[in-house]
Structure 1
Amino acid sequence: MVETALTGIRIVLVEPAGALNVGAIARVMKNSGLENLVLVNPQCDPLSGEAQLMAVHAVDILENAIQVATLPEALVNCTRAIATTARDRDTGITLEHPRTALPWLIEQNTALIFGPEYRGLSNEELKYAQRFVRIPTSDRYPSLNLAASVAICAYELFQCATQTETASTINSDVASLDILEGYYQQLEQILLDIGYLYPHTAASRMQKFRQVFNRTQLTTSEVAMLRGVLSQIQWALQQKTKEQS
C-alpha cells in the first residue's frame, strides 16, 4: 500500500508565516498520501479560516498537525532527515535532485524539512539534516512558493511509493536523530575541553563531523559505544585535573 510506505514521513515546516500556504500544504499532502505535518514555531494560525479554506477536504491534516518550539523537537525518533534549500551553501553539503534523494525517506521514520517563506533554512537549521535537496528551476525566476515546493516533493514521494514496494533496507536499530544529537553535543564539549575545537570555530568544525557520521547511518548500539568512549575520556580528564591540583 502506498499510504503504508508513506506513513512514517513527516513534513516539517519551520516557522511558516502564511496560513494560506499551510492550508495548501495540507491539501497536497492528502493528495499524495502523506498525513504527518509538524509545525516548528508557526508564525500563523494553522486552523484559521484561511488555512481551512485552502485545505478544503484536508482539514484533518491541520487538526492533527503537531506544533513544537524547535527543530530538534520535530525530529525526535526520526532516523533520517532531508532538508530543502534553494541556495548554494559554503558548508560542503551536496545538493541533490528530489527524485534522487527522496526515495531514501520511504518506509522509515523520517522527516522532510522546509524553511520559512521569507528566508529558507539557515545553516544552523540545516545541520540537523543528513541529506539536502534543491528543486531545479529556471534561472529567470528560481524562487519557489513554499506550498509549491512541498507539492513537488510530495508528488515525488507518492510516485516513488507507487512504483517501489520497498525503497530501502530497513534497519530497526538505526539511531534516531535525537540520540545522534546527544552524541554530537557530548562530542563537541569533549573537543572543546581538549582544545581541538575553539568556541569561535566550533560550529563550522562540528558541521563537518556531523556530515561524516550522518553518512554512516549509525545504529543505537554504535552511538552508545561512541558515547561510552567519550565518557571515559571525560573521566580521564577529570582524574588528570585532580592529580595536578
Structure 2
Amino acid sequence: MLTESQRERIQVILVSPRNPLNIGAVARAMANFGFTRMRVVAPYEPHWREARSAVGAPQLLIDAQETASLPEAIRDCLLVLGTGTLTHRKPEQPVVRLDQLAPLMTEPLRRGERVALIFGPEKHGLTREDLSYCHILVEIPTDPRQPSMNLGQAAAVCFYELAARIQVDSVGLEPPQDAEEPAPTSSNLDVLANLIEEVMTSTNYSPKTMQAANRHDLRLMLRRLHLNAADTRRALGFFRRILWRLKRGRHT
C-alpha cells in the first residue's frame, strides 16, 4: 500500500464541476482511500465547499485549492493523467485502461514526483483542449450501452485501483543521488510551448486562423516526446537564442 507521503503526491483535479454534491462525493471517496490533495478548476457553484455529501471529509473540501484554469492546477505535476471513456472520442495521446494505470504511476511516485489525476465536468467529461495538457488518457471501461459514469463513482473506482494495485515501498521516498534526470513539470512544458509559439509567430509560420490548432498540437507533441528536465532547459535555450536572433535581425 502507498505511504501517506506517496498518497499526498497524487493530486486529484476536478475540471469545472457543476454539482457541489458530486464534488463532495469525490472528497468522500478520496477520504475512503487515504487521498488528501484536491484542486477544483473553475467550479460552477460558488458554495461547493459546503457540500453535505462529503461525509467524513469536510476538512478535505476546506483545504482544497481552487484555480481558474487547468494549466494552473497542474503546474507542479510531472505526470498528468486525464480520465474518460473512448465513446465519441478519438484520443490524441496514449490510452491505458484503468487496470493498467498503477504500473505507470509506480516509478514516478518512487522518484518523489507529483502526479495529477483529472476528472472532467459531469455533462461531457474532459474536452479535447483539456486533454491536450495530459500525457495519458485513462479509459474507465464501461458497458457501451451506458458509457458514462457519475463523477463520484468514477473517482471512487479510480481511487480503489490506485490504493489496491500500486506497490511502492518506503525505500524510494527520496530520489537516489544517481537517479535519472526527472521529467519537467507541466508548467515547464507550457513555458517551452509558449516560447516555441512566439518563435513561430515571429517567422509567420502560419496564419492567425491556424494558431490555436498549432498551439494545441504543440502541447500534445511536447508531452509525447517525454523530455526530461535537462532537455527542456536546453530546448528553452535554443529557442530563446533563435528568438533573439530573429528580433535582432529586424533592427539591423
State the TM-score bracket (shorter-chain normalisation).
0.7 to 0.9
* Structure 1 SS opposite 2:44: coil
Pair 1:103–1:43, CA change in 2 (3 A) = farther
Residues 27 and 172 of structure 1: CA distance in aligned 2, closer, same or farther (over 3 Å): farther
Gaps of 5+ in 2: none
Match of 2:245 in 1: 236
> TM-score, structure 1 length as denominator?
0.88
1:81 Cα deviation after fit: 0.4
Aligned residue pairs total 238
Percent identity over paired residues: 30
Moved more, 87-96 or 127-136: 87-96
Q: How far apart are residue 149 of structure 1 and its match?
A: 0.9
Alignment of 1:125 onto 2:127: no
1:152-191 matched pairs, under 5 angstroms: 152-161=157-166, 163-165=167-169, 173-191=182-200
Aligned to 1:151: 156
- Cα pair 1:9 1:105 within 8 Å, conserved: no
- Equivalent residue for 1:69? 68
Deviation at 1:110, TM superposition (A): 1.2
Compared CA separation, residues 196 and 102, structure 1 to 2 (3 A): farther
Match of 1:205 in 2: 214
Structure 2: how far apart are the matches of 1:32 and 1:68?
A: 24
Residue number among 210, 225, 232 corresponding to 1:223 in the alignment: 232
Q: How far does the alpha carbon of each residue in 1:90-131 deviate from its partner, in whole angstroms, 9 at most, with x for none?
A: 463333201223443341201111111112111111111111
Q: Which moved more, 1:96-105 or 1:144-153?
A: 96-105
5+ residue gaps, structure 1: none
Per mean C-alpha deviation after superposition, the further-off stretch among 104-113 and 212-221 is 212-221
TM norm structure 2: 0.85
Task: After the TM superposition, list the runs of 4 or more consecutive aligned residues in structure 1 that deviate by more than 6 angstroms.
Answer: none
Residue pair 1:105, 1:111 contacting (<8 A) in 2 also: no
Tell me which amino acid in the other structure corresponds to 1:89: R
Contact 1:29–1:151 (Cα < 8 Å) also in 2? yes
